[in-house]
Structure 1
Amino acid sequence: MQEIQFGTTLYVGDESLKRLSDFRNEKILIVTDSFIASSELLSHIKSYIDSGNETMVFSEVIPDPPIDNIVAGLESSKDFSATILLAIGGGSAIDAAKAMLYFGKLTDRFHGIRFVTIPTTSGTGSEVTNFSIITDKEKGTKYPLITDQILPDEAILDSGLVAGLPPKQTADTGIDVLTHAIEAYVSTSANDISDALSEKAIRCVFTYLERAYKDGKDKVAREKMHMASTMAGMAFNTASLGLNHGIAHAAGARWHIPHGRINGILLPNVIRYNAGIMEGDYRKNTSPAAKRYAEIAKFLGLNAGNAQMGVRSLVNAILALEKSLSIPKSLSEWGVNKEQFESDKNVIAEAALADRCTATNPIVPTKEDIIRVLGKSFK
């Protein structure tokens, strides 16, 4: 038996921010980063909040939030007695708010609080998931926090908030959407519902991501990618992820590579590994996962006469898309040098094996397998 639930209420479309005007006599703790806090974006969002509400802003969230960042947020708001926790930003801000919520509930600080998210990027899907990624800076490791206690109650999806996202961030977050959807599709916990969400998200990425990258004011492309991010989040919140994210959490923290970008670098080789053809010999017998990848190729209209052809077509399509987005082809192209790679590969492989996302990968990897994937992705 598998339990499937979608506990987040979505507010979508034009003027979805009007949902904030429904709040009355609340104490709203806003969690965001310094960039958003100092921009017109926060003022624009706050303009929808009735003056009868009391607000407090914690704006010290940093990328890949570490534990001390979470502690700082809890400490600064300890006397505020918030009734609504409002996370505004990308994955880091929402993840930080989730971790604050989790530890706040443990200490009964946030008993009965409502959790609302407003994503300002189209990538993490964090607005609808029970995942949060926290970084241990000393160890150079990211830890997934996975519990329904941090699932947002509401998510406000206003694609107008991402219209100004720079091309590089558009590319990185968009490839994160693609990785979420593909990993959920081939996950050992995949089901018909997660498949439907994954398929729609994948189609949207291949149709609209390059458009959004080339023209950030393309309203249709922005809207489609914003919804694709949420659909992919719903898919992996149901089916979980896989080895791609297991490695990305470990390698991204150690080598300070943006999450979407490290996912993009790894994705072609993780697909090849899971399909049983990492060495590039498409004549070899493939794994059962290859059929799932071939299904993706088929619904994208790619050449998929058999499983091997489907995997090759999908990998080539991903490489072509990433090239159009200026995603680096390898870790070395990003800037990881040989000495760093050799020094860190064993630690990264061990962390990836222990990562909870790896548990639902379609192939059970060994440490040696992960090092091989890293090696292919380094060159």
Structure 2
Amino acid sequence: MIPSEKPSSNTTERVTMGALAREKPWREEFVHQGLYESIAQDRVIWGTPAAEAVVAEANRRDASRVFIVASRTLNQMTSVVSAVSDVLGDRCVGVFDECREHTPRETVIAAANAVRQCHPDLIVSVGGGTVIDTVKVLLVALAEDVQTPDELDHWHVRVNADGSRHIPAVRSPPLRQIAVPTTLSGAEFSALGGATDTRRKAKHAFTGREIGPATVILDPAATRHTPAWLWLSTGIRAVDHAVESITSVAPVPLVDGCALYALELLAEALPRTRTNPDDLAARQQCMHGAWLASQGILRVPYGASHGIGHSLGAVTGMSHGYTSCVLLPAVLRWNRGAAEGAARQARIAAALGRDDGDAAAAVAELIKALGLPTRLRDLDIREDLFPVIAEGAMDNLWVRTNPRPIKSTDNIVEILESAY
């Protein structure tokens, strides 16, 4: 199916607000316009073991057929998934564990077909951003009867020639997901999912009001199996969410407040989890930090760290945690001269414990303290790939909203060289 040309609800609301402003021009003299849209998420649960919380949610939702989507490692090498399926008993009608990093379209369709065969009334996603995004995009496929990877072309967010966004109006999916996240990517707190077109080496964004998790279950014990590099690097991804929320060209007060506190929580707790991986209190604090940091996802426009990172990941296969590690300080340096750039970056630096206003240095110091890569060369990324990465990034919606305007691929190559 091809989406209708009617505007999304977001577009309609912006038009309405603009019309009101024209009718009452006095408003523009005193206030800024803005919009914050809550996602369709009922509750966030913490302090309860994952399996116990999943069953309680299944009971609350009268779910009789539950399908689990998980990472293969969690399913086959740990007891996290089996604990959930065992307590569900006969209500567990299937498990899909073929998710792959960067969410290739092919695995999304495979997961959607597995769900179609089992006819569940609830999906439980157990894992990191890859797993949760797989479910988000498969829910788009179910909502719009998408049968092949190519048909997803009609449903991803696109940037129009004039720089505006085209957001397809995705219908409600036939069922919802609840999520048990095991990383700090924050995918569980948004209605935005990414999937990669492997032929074009491009990652696309998909959104729909009800594709995100209806309930999120934060169980730090379930994260103990997450590899240290993945846990810590997705922690920097959460830092990236917070930083690019604060530096956004269209900031929102609620998002700013959450993002600043998120930086304090993450800066204090991430090093503790590196020193003592069994510190469940620190792990829970990190998860709360990731929750707060995620409040800006698709609510405020991000910048080039996210935008270039999507292309860098699609071209090289680099995890998004690592793309944030190597790109975020470079993007902060490049953006410092943007309007209000120095003032907003000073707030970031202060939240990270630095009083000289140097946000790039503050972020770089945290990354280094966690033993994570700080340069593209640390990850053996070849410089001859920069033009390809830059070309792909120019079509990204967040490159188009970077605080310091990016006008050409040369600008992106400049940032990549700074990150090298």
TM-score by length of 1: 0.88
Moved more, 362-371 or 153-162: 362-371
1:117 partnered with 2:179 = yes
Residues 111, 177 of structure 1: alpha-carbon distance in 2 compared, 3 angstrom cutoff: closer
C-alpha separation between the residues in 2 aligned to 1:291 and 1:108? 46
Partner of residue 372 from structure 2, selected from 314, 327, 352 = 327
Q: What aligned pairs does 1:1-379 form with structure 2 within 5 A after superposition? A: 1-8=34-41, 9-15=43-49, 17-22=51-56, 23-24=58-59, 25-38=63-76, 39-49=78-88, 51=89, 53-107=91-145, 111-121=173-183, 123-276=184-337, 287-304=339-356, 310=357, 312=358, 314-337=359-382, 341-342=383-384, 344-367=385-408, 368-378=410-420
SS in 2 for 1:295: helix
Query: What is the deviation of 1:236?
Result: 2.5
C-alpha separation between the residues in 2 aligned to 1:108 and 1:10? 30
- What whole-Å deviation, never above 9, does each CA across 1:182-222 have from its counterpart, x for those lacking one? 01111123211001110111111111111111211112210
Moved more, 353-362 or 198-207: 353-362
C-alpha separation between the residues in 1 aligned to 2:279 and 2:53? 25
Residues 366, 234 of structure 1: alpha-carbon distance in 2 compared, 3 angstrom cutoff: same
* Unpaired stretches in structure 1, ≥5 consecutive residues: 277-285, 305-309
SS in 1 for 2:97: strand
Residues 184, 19 of structure 1: alpha-carbon distance in 2 compared, 3 angstrom cutoff: same
**Aligned residue pairs, count:** 356
SS in 2 for 1:188: coil
SS in 2 for 1:19: helix
* Identical amino acids, percent of aligned pairs: 24
- What whole-Å deviation, never above 9, does each CA across 1:126-172 have from its counterpart, x for those lacking one? 11101111112222221122332422211111111112323212221
* Unpaired stretches in structure 2, ≥5 consecutive residues: 1-33, 148-171
C-alpha contact (below 8 Å) 2:245/2:301 kept by paired residues: yes
Residues 42, 243 of structure 1: alpha-carbon distance in 2 compared, 3 angstrom cutoff: same
C-alpha separation between the residues in 2 aligned to 1:144 and 1:33? 21
C-alpha separation between the residues in 2 aligned to 1:14 and 1:80? 28
C-alpha separation between the residues in 1 aligned to 2:354 and 2:82? 45
Moved more, 173-182 or 236-245: 236-245
SS in 1 for 2:118: coil
TM-score by length of 2: 0.80
C-alpha separation between the residues in 1 aligned to 2:343 and 2:114? 51
C-alpha separation between the residues in 2 aligned to 1:224 and 1:2? 29
Query: What is the deviation of 1:16?
Result: 5.5
Structure 2 counterpart of 1:290, which letter?
A
